[in-house]
Amino acid sequence: MRRPRRLMAALPFIAALGLGGTVLDGSLPVVGSGSRERAPLSDSAIRDQDIVFYEARAARDPNGALDRMQLASLYLGRARERGSETDLARSEAMARASLARRRARNGSALAALAGSLLAQHKFAEARDAARELVAYDPESPAARALLGEVLLELGDYIEARGIFLRLKGRSHDPAVAPRLARWHELEGRPEEADRLFREARDRALALHGVSSEQRAWFQLRVGDLALRYGRLGEAQGALEAGLAESPDDQRLLAARARLAAARHEWKDAVGFGERALAVSLDPATLGLLADAYLALGDTAAALEQERVMDVALRGQAGPFHRAWSLHLLDRGRHVAEILTRAEAELRTRKDVYGWDVYAWALYKAGRRAEAATAMEHALGLGTRDPLLAVHARAIAAGAP
């Protein structure tokens, strides 16, 4: 039987980090007359090969837990790179199948399950899986950081703060640092978040065996933070470095389109946005493309993007898409529908960005006193995100 190309020792690190990537080694023969030289495969191509390999093994062994755990991690990595909801569902199914066959000594399947649920915005289920992972390995900083990340998404800041305060001394751990940085950002310390993201990125780049997908992910985190806080030159450096590692990563392409839009480089925004949408249909990128086409004077193309967004909104069965909803609210569209969905989401997910969407929807609905109260919740943690500040100023001023 062929031995898998994947280095098994890397899996706990990857599953805990939540990137779904792997340490890979593979190649393809170079086409040529009698040539025996081999050209390296991309990490994505090798991952696809590994998926085929483990799918075949799982089919031959209906009782095996290990192959299904491997598939759960592989599907999760591909889902994140390509924005594939199908692969997220596959990851969840394989993780559950692995755990059904063996619960004991199967922490990697629990980590993959929590990661796939988190990515699908099934936050309550992700919290339960993360709690089980912590119970399985209570000394694992990565498991506790994963639980803390889920709690941040749910808006359970008191418990999350307790977890991250105990993890502050583990900022060198690549499975902890990005989540610790997110906690710092939410609590109003973006400079500390930036430092941690950069240090984590630099350690990952120096670490032997880290895949191109993982290196690209760290560049994305650094670039996204810089972009949101207006440091456009820094953002460009990180995002372009990430794209050099993973040229077809839809997350990096979408972020690069946002950067071009921030600079009013509308042709570049269209170019990067269309490349991102060719990989995955992302509502926020559709909205950005509509803005870019409108700025270029192509009203027909802008209206087409808006039409696609409207159709997708009416058929949206998945999680509430906040960036998409804010785009529509900015244009005064679907206000009542978005307000209803934002209010419903706050019943189970009370994080600052949920309150922000709710406040903005109330404001657009003309309910400004209620919007001001909701905005107080959005700012209650001390988050310094410029987007929250823009909404807070508009609501306070009472401008239309």
**pLDDT (tens digit per residue) in 362-388:** 999 999 999 999 999 999 999 999 999
Q: What does the pLDDT read at residue 210?
A: 87
Q: What does the pLDDT read at residue 231?
A: 97
Distance CA 264, CA 161 (A): 38
∠372-376-381 over CA atoms, to 5°?
Answer: 160
Query: What are residue 134's DSSP bridge partners?
Result: none
Query: What are residue 29's DSSP bridge partners?
Result: 38
pLDDT for residue 178 is more than 60 = yes
Instruction: Give the tens place of pLDDT for each residue, 184-218.
Output: 999 999 999 999 999 999 999 998 888 888 999 99
pLDDT for residue 15 is more than 80 = no
Query: What are residue 40's DSSP bridge partners?
Result: 27
Q: Model confidence at 37, in pLDDT bands (50, 70, 90)?
A: low
Mean pLDDT of 26-38: 38
**Cβ-based burial of 381 (10 A; exposed 0-12, middle 13-18, buried ≥19):** middle
Mean pLDDT of 263-290: 93
Q: What does the pLDDT read at residue 312?
A: 65
Q: What does the pLDDT read at residue 23?
A: 27
pLDDT for residue 32 is more than 90 = no
Q: Model confidence at 8, in pLDDT bands (50, 70, 90)?
A: very low
Q: What does the pLDDT read at residue 33?
A: 38
Distance CA 20, CA 44 (A): 11
pLDDT for residue 18 is more than 60 = no
Q: What does the pLDDT read at residue 364?
A: 97
Distance CA 246, CA 219 (A): 10
Instruction: Give the tens place of pLDDT for each residue, 317-371.
Output: 555 688 888 988 998 988 999 999 999 999 999 999 999 999 999 999 999 999 9
Q: Is 232 left (phi over 0), alpha (psi -120 to 50) or beta?
A: alpha
pLDDT for residue 26 is more than 70 = no
Instruction: Give the tens place of pLDDT for each residue, 210-245.
Output: 888 899 999 999 999 999 999 999 999 999 999 999
Instruction: Give the tens place of pLDDT for each residue, 150-167.
Output: 999 999 999 999 999 999
Q: What does the pLDDT read at residue 49?
A: 95
pTM of the model: 0.86
Mean pLDDT, rounded, of the chain: 88
**386 close to 228: Cβ distance less than 8 angstroms:** yes
Distance from chain centroid for Cα 385: 18
DSSP structure string for 150-206: HHHHHT-HHHHHHHHHHHGGGTT-TTTHHHHHHHHHHTT-HHHHHHHHHHHHHHHHH
Mean pLDDT of 35-56: 82
Closest CA to 129 of 95, 164, 157, 176: 95
Give the distance between the most distant pair of CA atoms in the chain.
77
Instruction: Give the tens place of pLDDT for each residue, 82-140.
Output: 888 899 999 999 999 999 999 989 999 999 999 999 999 999 999 999 999 999 999 99
